[in-house]
Structure 1
Amino acid sequence: MSDRYELVLTCPKSLEGLLLEEATALGLEEPREQTAAIRGFGSLELAYTLCLWSRLANRVLLVLDRFTIKDAESLYDGVHAIDWSEHLQPDGSLAVEFSGHGSGIDNTHFGALKVKDAIVDRLRQADGTRPSVDKINPHLRVHLRLDRGEAILSLDLSGHSLHQRGYRLQQGAAPLKENLAAAVLIRAGWPRIAAEGGALADPMCGVGTFLVEAAMIAADIAPNLTREQWGFSEWLGHVPALWKKLQGEAQERAAAGLARPPLWIRGYEADPRLIQPARNNIERAGLGDWIKVYQGEVATFEPRPDQNQRGLVISNPPYGERLGDEASLLYLYQNLGERLRQACMGWEAAVFTGAPDLGKRMGIRSHKQYAFWNGALPCKLLLIKVQPDQFVTGERRTAEQRQVEREQAQALVEETAQAPKLNRNGNPIKPTPAPAPVVEQARLSEGGQMFANRLQKNLKQLGKWARREGIDCYRVYDADMPEYALAVDLYHDWVHVQEYAAPKSIDPEKAQARLFDALAAIPQALNIDKSRVIIKRRERQSGTKQYERQSAQGKFVEVSEGGVKLLVNLTDYLDTGLFLDHRPLRLRIQREAAGKRFLNLFCYTATATVHAAKGGARTTTSVDLSKTYLDWARRNLSLNGFSDKNRLEQGDVMAWLAADTNQYELIFIDPPTFSNSKRMEGVFDVQRDHVQLLDLAMARLAPAGVVYFSNNFRKFQLDEALAQRYRVEEISAETIAADFARNPRIHRAWRLQPLNG
């Protein structure tokens, strides 16, 4: 066999340049970059070294041959021509990985099968002995890449992917792979910072991947030093003595590195469930003396080990995939920026983000940006120098303020450079820290400030009205400014934001930027803590989509209106359980309910029923198809002390009405626009079916009774024939409260009575 081989190192997309530098430094000759891989030449010793020391590669492949293929048979022939007895015993096991297509081979499974057959047939013995297939732990891993008619046939020396270091047996929801974490650290300059004795802090450390990779770099520990099973372990070309020599040298380097005073490496994590898994991973990596992990929120993150220490703050904030994540992520990035400015002056920072627009909201300029891929997700690494001249938040500073900040920053640099002064006992005197520059509240963009001004104006006007009316949940903004197409509702001390879907004519990036501007403005304008802002996107709804569960937090907030208490859920559904625009109708029902039998159809969470009970209704009956909402209704009634004489009925309203024989003096109907629930027969369409619905309801109405009918379908037209059978009065204008005066078409409402009533 040759003593010089062609080697291919695969890697995640976007790491090719870094891997090329790393492999070249380790001795790879004639290196060349490819997509998600590099190639070059070297000895078997170099191949072992790359397996042991590459922090960035996924696999190290040793190329056996390159040959042209025209079809499946020429593929078979090219593989069969290799003397496989140099690589695998006849009774050994193998696994084949096939990638690429062309030359009549468009199915990777078929291509792998042809490669396997060629190897097995070459090694088959007269007595029938032949290699078997083992996809988990084979004696030999074979890789064939088909590229534009050329087959590159290789042995996989790595075995399992090299990113699997072995220490991370416990992980969070969306961890970075170890080699991607190492690449981010290298791009962020951690090897340089570590060589200078710098510190490292991760304020959102998860299960500690950045921390462990950073410590291994600083302590000169080969990333795969503890791996026991390799792709070359049972390969017949393996030279154990050479491998043991390299492994021994790496062990000596690791022992020397760990013997040095440990660097200050700390992680902080808000989720208490991840603290112990992170500590377990750190212990498995043998780095318990180097790394400490604590529970803590980003907003209280304090990285400084002492006033002289500088280093790197590194973070991979969550990307946001659940309902309402935009608001929480915006404030997370703002909090991170605030902590960097307030507690990390003179440090460097690296933020690895799948949402670079949010990175702009930290209030600090990045001096460099690098593109990465985290799987299929494009990401950016933002590199930041935490210095006052990089801040973009706060009010416009005067020249004097800028000069003070520059002097403070210079003082920090000089303080770091000076040798520590000693007291009479020979111990360092801790210097008095220079005062940190005052960081004002984040300055809003011009549009964000306009939005905040409108919110404050609305709040001033509506707040007085709400206090006078005895309500603590109302709409404070409803797309008043067309470019900020949001509805903003106050629920006691929570804010519920609904983003209306932008028309296709609007640039999505501009729409996203305006949303971030608005989210930055809301806590300031309404004086609400950032953690109490929930955002949802309201698309055009069809069927029962608006009622479908979107999350499962199960957290209810108690609010009040008209002397009753109601439960809302701001996170789990698109709607909250309380339609604010129907408040005037609910209050009217409360005023008119005394002594009456009340029927609430399509009752949802039965908020109108609670008002009727509060108003002294003799009995109440509430009908809805959803058990979930009827359970919610039961909780609303119990919260106000109403349990007797309040009947909850699960069923299709139309069918239920047709079967019911009772009479009611007061009926409220607020149907959905459209429903096709599996629990009902057919489909309900409010425009098509409202006449039948109202006829059924009027048949259950007592002679002097009243039906209130409303709906939110913008194009709805009440059938004119109804006026020939009943007294019909549109009362829409009377049912629009002050907080919906800007949107009088939010719903329409009618009052119906028998002609002789």
Structure 2
Amino acid sequence: MPQFIATCAKDLEYLLVDELKSLQIDNPKEGLSQVKFESDWAGAYRVLMWSRVASRLFYPIATFEAKDDDMLYQQASLIDWLQHIPSGGCFLVNSQSFRSKLSHTQYISQRIKDAIVDYFADNDEKRPDVEFHEPDVVIHCRVKRDKVTLSIDLAGQALHRRGYRITGGSAPIKENLAAALLIRAGWSAEPQGVIYDPMCGSGTFLLEAALMAYDIAPGLHREHNGLARWQQFNAPLWQQIVDEAKARAEQGLNKSGVTIIGSDINPRAVRNAQMNCALLSLEEKIKVFIGGIDQVEQLALPIEPEEKGLIIVNPPYSERLGEFEEVKALYTQLGQLLKSQFVGWRASVLSPDKAFGHALGVRAKKIYKFNNGSIPCELLNLSIEEKQFVQRVSYNQVETDFKEKLTDQALQLCHRLEKNRQKLKKYLNSENISCYRIYDADLPDYNAAIDVYGDKLHIQEYRPPKNIDEKLALRRLKDIERVAAGVFQIPRNQVYLKQRQKQKGDWQYQTQHTNNDAHANDFLVEEAGRQFIVNLSDFLDTGLFLDHRKTRQLIAEQAKGHKLLNLFCYTASISVYAATAGATSTTNVDLSNTYLDWAKRNFNKNHINLQKHQFIREDCVQWLAEAVKLDEKFDVIFLDPPTFSNSKRMIEHFDVQRSHPVLIEQCLQLLNKDGILYFSNNFQKFEMMVESSERIQVKEITSQTVTPDFARRSLHRCWQITYKSDAV
């Protein structure tokens, strides 16, 4: 009997085996993401029509070894292609390669195409053309360990295309995966009663549930039949399969006792779902409403109070770690809905992260792992019963018993935070410091810095090592959040995480603006009697560099009665110190309007008259060159450039290691003979290239500017540069 290969998503092989057996396929054998079986053509046609789980169905026509493109071409040329492709017809070759010398799939397809076209020419037949849209025949080539299998793709397209999806959401779940998850949820075993999707999007779960409930073949409405122009297509046999499917659908649609309901907060998604239902003439069988999960009670769903059923839902989520908290809050809200309005029901919830599942607050009875595209996920099967509910501390509540739930590793972190807090207590109290660093990657498993800003915490993740799994790193970061909030006995909504996120080849911090008011997340902190505006959520940095606490004090003392130049001034905290200490003027230069506006607001908060102070938006490198020409002079200069910058507003990229000698020389030309230049940067591999000479004295003063809370890991290095008294 002919042999066939049905492919499927990873982890769904056993479901596909069971489905094939239900379609009267004997002895199917599962492999990785595929199931092989033998069958007559009637059986193969049934699989094409009725498989809800399979991705594609292949009919192998040749198997051979090919270690190079010549061998591939020669072997492909031996096949009688006239048995498969009509003379003058069209075809398409798709290829895959695994651990083989032939690895370029596009080139593999090209060589097979050449063999096919040359075969027709050698046999004086009209040459077939390559066609990407609905070709007569689709050839599939799979190369694994140099072994080539050429097959006819019998459907000519992916089997998840049922013919009902005209429009979908931004990331609709594939139809065959939705069907598989419905089977895992128990819908196929007894497709009757109520099924409800409160975040239905374009309605994939609803439609697949209806196809199951009303015995409608998933292939019945498929628009393109890839079999039809294959030379070995048995049209009468296929028509027999089609007629049988139509008869079953007509009978199935008379079935009662099934209620299929969906709702979504997005009106456009609801409209798309309704259109998709109409394409299958199921608009009377599936009811879709507009409303968020916080509005379900007001939707007047057609469910009797005593009715119980199945809720299945795929909450929207993102691969971006920066949206973690927003997604987690959504799962928490979903859990609250289930526990308040659907007690006695079953629920199946998709989750891409264990933390999201935990946020539901309901213990899972069964968990199935699967991949939604490239994203590893879990299907959580829940029984919505009070005994399964988990009581969790709200994010706006203090967790007093947090230690009881910590792992051994997290408990070590807790002890380290308590130890650091006790060690710094005397220093913080004596200096009246409310903003400081409490932890800086002290333990290798918890690679982050924790800073205290009054009654709030700021946690900043360092780049995880490449050998650390992304999800493991994320779980550890969540441990840090929980432990830090517990040690300081503050609600977790007062803890701000800066997480790394993957973006086109690099990791960056996710900026989250959640309010149209640009300053909605600002708040005030106090340092040495001065007030500073801080924002822990919207920017990479917070507005106040805590490691420069001593530097600010040092410069304030030197600037009294003098003119200060603050280059790369950021939010100008140095200048606030200087101005309040009696500096006659400050000149603040930065390329960012945002930071200069922030600096002015810092000055206003400290009641400083802005008339004596300049705020200049310009590239500091360019400004310095112009200032030298104008022979500007200053008594104290603070030069604290970034490590690197490639702003579009700069003439060229800035690199502190390469550029600092020129910058320092330009600053010296602006410095009065008895003035002081302070040069600082936070490049960890920095090498100072400016040395003392007959003209200047260069002295590293890093140890004088490092405070106890940064003693373990100094973030900056600092130099004091002055003219020698006898220099000309």
Q: Which of 624, 633, 658 does residue 596 from structure 2 map onto?
A: 633
Q: Which of 435, 460, 463 does residue 498 from structure 1 map onto?
A: 460
Aligned twin of 2:13: 16
Deviation per CA, 1:693-746, whole angstroms, max 9, x where unpaired?
A: 556434423466554444445687988848995697959667749xx4776845
Q: Which of 262, 287, 296 does residue 292 from structure 2 map onto?
A: 296
Note if 1:445 corresponds to 2:399: no
Query: Aligned to 1:181, what secondary structure does the other structure show?
Result: helix
Aligned twin of 1:346: 344
- Which one-letter code corresponds to 2:79 in the other structure? V
Q: How big is the shift at 1:288? A: 4.3
User: Matches of residues 320-469 of structure 1 in structure 2 within 5 Å?
Assistant: 320-328=318-326, 340-341=338-339, 343-356=341-354, 359=357, 364-390=362-388, 393=391, 444-445=405-406
Q: Which of 33, 38, 41 does residue 38 from structure 2 map onto?
A: 41
Aligned twin of 2:79: 79
Aligned twin of 1:177: 174
Aligned twin of 1:209: 204
Q: Do the aligned residues in 2 keep the contact of 1:94 with 1:132 (CA within 8 Å)?
A: yes
Aligned twin of 2:641: 671
Aligned twin of 1:570: 537
Q: How big is the shift at 1:492? A: 8.4
TM-score, with structure 2 as normaliser: 0.75
Aligned twin of 1:649: 618
Note if 1:263 corresponds to 2:233: no
Q: How big is the shift at 1:165? A: 2.5
Q: How big is the shift at 1:177? A: 2.0
Change (3 A) 1:639 1:120: same
> 2: CA distance between counterparts of 1:299 and 1:619?
58
Change (3 A) 1:141 1:469: same
Q: How big is the shift at 1:67? A: 5.5
Q: Which of 621, 630, 652 does residue 587 from structure 2 map onto?
A: 621
Q: How big is the shift at 1:357? A: 6.4
Q: Do the aligned residues in 2 keep the contact of 1:488 with 1:495 (CA within 8 Å)?
A: yes
Q: Which of 547, 550, 561 does residue 581 from structure 1 map onto?
A: 547
> 2: CA distance between counterparts of 1:474 and 1:297?
41
> 1: CA distance between counterparts of 2:717 and 2:119?
81
Aligned twin of 2:50: 53
Change (3 A) 1:590 1:149: closer
Note if 1:143 corresponds to 2:105: no
> 1: CA distance between counterparts of 2:501 and 2:65?
55
> 1: CA distance between counterparts of 2:664 and 2:633?
14
Aligned twin of 2:568: 602
> 2: CA distance between counterparts of 1:103 and 1:42?
30
Aligned twin of 2:396: none
Gaps of at least 5 residues in structure 2 are 394-398, 605-609
Farther off after superposition, 94-103 or 439-448: 439-448
Aligned twin of 2:524: 560
- Which one-letter code corresponds to 1:622 in the other structure? N
Query: Aligned to 2:28, what secondary structure does the other structure show?
Result: strand
Q: Which of 486, 495, 498 does residue 535 from structure 1 map onto?
A: 498
Aligned twin of 2:476: 514
Q: How big is the shift at 1:157? A: 2.5
Aligned twin of 1:399: none
> 1: CA distance between counterparts of 2:56 and 2:702?
72
Q: Do the aligned residues in 2 keep the contact of 1:60 with 1:157 (CA within 8 Å)?
A: yes
Q: Do the aligned residues in 2 keep the contact of 1:670 with 1:709 (CA within 8 Å)?
A: yes
> 2: CA distance between counterparts of 1:534 and 1:138?
52
Q: Do the aligned residues in 1 keep the contact of 2:74 with 2:115 (CA within 8 Å)?
A: no
Change (3 A) 1:723 1:294: farther
> 1: CA distance between counterparts of 2:425 and 2:275?
52
Deviation per CA, 1:223-274, whole angstroms, max 9, x where unpaired?
A: 23322211023335445555445434434544554553552433445x7875
- Which one-letter code corresponds to 2:54 in the other structure? A
Change (3 A) 1:586 1:358: same
Q: How big is the shift at 1:90? A: 2.0
Q: Do the aligned residues in 2 keep the contact of 1:470 with 1:561 (CA within 8 Å)?
A: no
Change (3 A) 1:615 1:238: farther
> 2: CA distance between counterparts of 1:116 and 1:744?
62
Change (3 A) 1:77 1:715: closer
> 2: CA distance between counterparts of 1:73 and 1:745?
63
> 2: CA distance between counterparts of 1:551 and 1:221?
47
Q: How big is the shift at 1:57? A: 1.4
- Which one-letter code corresponds to 2:24 in the other structure? G
Q: Do the aligned residues in 1 keep the contact of 2:121 with 2:127 (CA within 8 Å)?
A: yes
Aligned twin of 1:94: 91
Note if 1:225 corresponds to 2:191: no
Aligned twin of 2:449: 487
Change (3 A) 1:743 1:346: farther
> 2: CA distance between counterparts of 1:668 and 1:328?
40
Q: How big is the shift at 1:134? A: 1.3
- Which one-letter code corresponds to 2:567 in the other structure? L
- Which one-letter code corresponds to 2:225 in the other structure? W
Deviation per CA, 1:260-308, whole angstroms, max 9, x where unpaired?
A: 3552433445x78755555554555554442425443689999995653
Farther off after superposition, 345-354 or 449-458: 449-458
- Which one-letter code corresponds to 1:138 in the other structure? P
> 2: CA distance between counterparts of 1:532 and 1:288?
47
Note if 1:160 corresponds to 2:157: yes
Q: Do the aligned residues in 2 keep the contact of 1:91 with 1:130 (CA within 8 Å)?
A: yes
Deviation per CA, 1:633-658, whole angstroms, max 9, x where unpaired?
A: 24543686658843233142775665
Q: How big is the shift at 1:25? A: 0.8
- Which one-letter code corresponds to 1:535 in the other structure? K
Aligned twin of 1:191: 188
> 2: CA distance between counterparts of 1:110 and 1:703?
70
Deviation per CA, 1:73-101, whole angstroms, max 9, x where unpaired?
A: 65245412x652xx544232222334458
Deviation per CA, 1:134-173, whole angstroms, max 9, x where unpaired?
A: 1222122233445678765543221221112233444445
> 2: CA distance between counterparts of 1:166 and 1:52?
12
Farther off after superposition, 724-733 or 489-498: 724-733
Q: How big is the shift at 1:27? A: 2.3
Change (3 A) 1:124 1:692: closer
Deviation per CA, 1:375-402, whole angstroms, max 9, x where unpaired?
A: 444444343334455456569xxxxxxx
Deviation per CA, 1:348-377, whole angstroms, max 9, x where unpaired?
A: 333434434664565554343333234444
Q: Do the aligned residues in 2 keep the contact of 1:275 with 1:295 (CA within 8 Å)?
A: no
Q: How many residues align?
A: 691
Aligned twin of 1:402: none
TM-score, with structure 1 as normaliser: 0.73
Gaps of at least 5 residues in structure 1 are 396-438, 540-544
Deviation per CA, 1:392-413, whole angstroms, max 9, x where unpaired?
A: 6569xxxxxxxxxxxxxxxxxx
> 2: CA distance between counterparts of 1:630 and 1:473?
26
